[in-house]
Amino acid sequence: MTRLSVNLNKIAVLRNSRGGQSPDLLQASRVCLDAGAHGLTVHPRPDARHVRADDVFALAALAQARGVEFNLEGNPFAPPRPGYPGFHALCEQARPAQATLVPDDDGQLTSDHGFDFVRDAGALAPQVERLKALGCRVSLFADAGSAVERAAAIGADRIEIYTGPYADAHGTGGAAGPLRLCAETARRAQGAGLGVNAGHDLSQTNLGAFLDAVPAVLEVSIGHALIGEALYDGLAVTVARYLAILPAARG
C-alpha cells in the first residue's frame, strides 16, 4: 500500500509571511490526519524560512499522539546556527519515525537533486548509522538513474526518488522516458533490499500515472501541489482526493 505523507512547509511559509500563528500548523495537520493522511512531513532549513525547531517538536508530539508517521527531512551536513540546532539534534529530540536525508544547500529555493552515492557514500555512512541508532528509519533522496545500490550498502532503509524531472516532463507530454527511468530505479533499489518512497512536484494530475508505472512505492510525500490545490477545494477534500488515487483505494 502506498501511504500519503503531507508536507506542511507551505503552510508555515504562509504563517511566517505575516508573523504570528495563523494559519495554525497544528490545526492544519489535524485536518489532514482527520481526512485520512497517513503521516506528516516537514523539512526545516537552517534559515527557518518555513518550519522552525519548535514546529518540529510540536508536530512530532502530535504524530505520536495520533499514532502516525512523522517524517523529518534535512541536510545532515548543514552546521547548527542560532535557531537551528542541526538535523541530528532535531532528530534526537523529536525522534521521527523516518529521517529523510537531502543534499540541499542553504541557497536552494527547494530540493532539486539527490545524493551522488558513489561520491558521498563515505560521508553518508556515519550519518545513517547515527540516525538508525536513534530508532529512525533512514531514507536518502535519490535521482532517478543514480547508483541506488550504494545507498543500500551504506545502511539506508529506503530511497526517496526525486520526481521533479518526471513532473516537469508530464506537464509537457514527454513523461514516458523519465517514468521508465523512475521505474527502473525503483526495481534496482528493491532488488538491493531498499524500500522506495517518492516526492517532489507530485500532484493530482501526475500521481496516478506515476504509481501505475513505478512498482511498490511505499510512500509519497506531497506538499506544494496539495496545499495549492487546497486553496481552491479545501484541505480535507484535497487530501481525500489524493487518497483516492493511491493503488489500494483504486483496487
Catalogue all structural domains in the chain, each as residue range(s) with its CATH number: 3-250 (3.20.20.70)
Eight-state DSSP code of residue 80: P
| 149 in active site | no
Look over the chain and give the mean of its residue pLDDT values, rounded to a whole number: 95
88-92 long-range contacts (CB < 8 A, ≥24 apart) are: 88/127, 88/130, 88/131, 90/44, 90/53, 90/56, 91/131, 91/134, 91/136, 92/134
pLDDT level of residue 229 (50, 70, 90 thresholds): very high
E strands, the chain, where?
3-7, 39-42, 69-74, 98-101, 137-143, 158-162, 195-199, 219-222
| 92 in active site | no
For Cα atoms 142, 180, 39, give the angle at the middle one, nearest 5 degrees: 50
Catalytic residue among 38, 43, 50, 170: 43
Q: What is the pLDDT of residue 250?
A: 57
Q: What is the pLDDT of residue 249?
A: 57
What percent of the chain clears pLDDT 90, i.e. is strictly above it?
Answer: 91
pTM (2 d.p.): 0.94
Catalytic residue among 38, 50, 73, 160: 73
Q: What is the pLDDT of residue 112?
A: 63
Please count the other Cβ atoms lying within 10 Å of the Cβ belonging to residue 92.
Answer: 15
Tens digit of pLDDT for each residue in 176-208? 999 999 999 999 999 999 999 999 999 999 999
Distances (CA, A) of 29 to 12, 93, 130, 134, 169: 11, 20, 28, 25, 31
Tens digit of pLDDT for each residue in 22-32? 999 999 999 99
Catalytic residue among 38, 50, 170, 200: 200
| 200 in active site | yes
Task: Compute the chain's Rg from CA coordinates.
Answer: 17
